[in-house]
Amino acid sequence: MPKALMLIGPNFEDSELMYPYYRLQEAGYEVDLVGPEADAKYTGKNGVSFTSDKAAKKTKVNDYDMIVIPGGQQPDKLRTNKDVVQLVKDAFDKGLLAAVICHGPQLLIEADVVRGRRMTSWPSVRTDLKNAGATVVDEEVVVDGNLVTSRKPSDLPAWMRETLRVAEKRVVTA
């Protein structure tokens, strides 16, 4: 069974965590919620709560096929956690499929993995992405190799459709 590592932290965008969490399970993925601490309850901006399965410090990217980074205020809070940032860097170093939406690219900037990548994000993150060396576009979903990015909650269907398409293609060619 394929496995997805989904980051979780305070003030995540509820729909951007819930939609991929359940959609990936529906597609046959085992999904682990990984945060700064294991067994910690995190609440989204709109009041939905989830409990982390694992702590970033104890999570090994070799156990996963994909990393998912929801947006909201969570990426800004998580980018100050060295264990979470290292986990993101390790996921990119290993070449995991990365599905990132909204403010999620803030974590990619902190992990220094956006240089030369074509991507999109929430409007307020775009200048930071450009300054970090990314080519930024305003599109519903952007696929650049193993990186799938989208802008906002209304992009969720396109984002997950492309994420699962890239995931399937990676399995077929592996």
- Active site residues per annotation: 103
Do 42 and 6 touch, CB atoms closer than 8 A? no
| Distance of alpha carbon 18 from the chain centroid | 13
The DSSP annotation for 44-78 comes to -TTS-EEE-SEEGGG--GGG-SEEEE--BTHHHHH
Count Cα neighbours of 54 within 13 Å in the Cβ-side half-sphere.
18
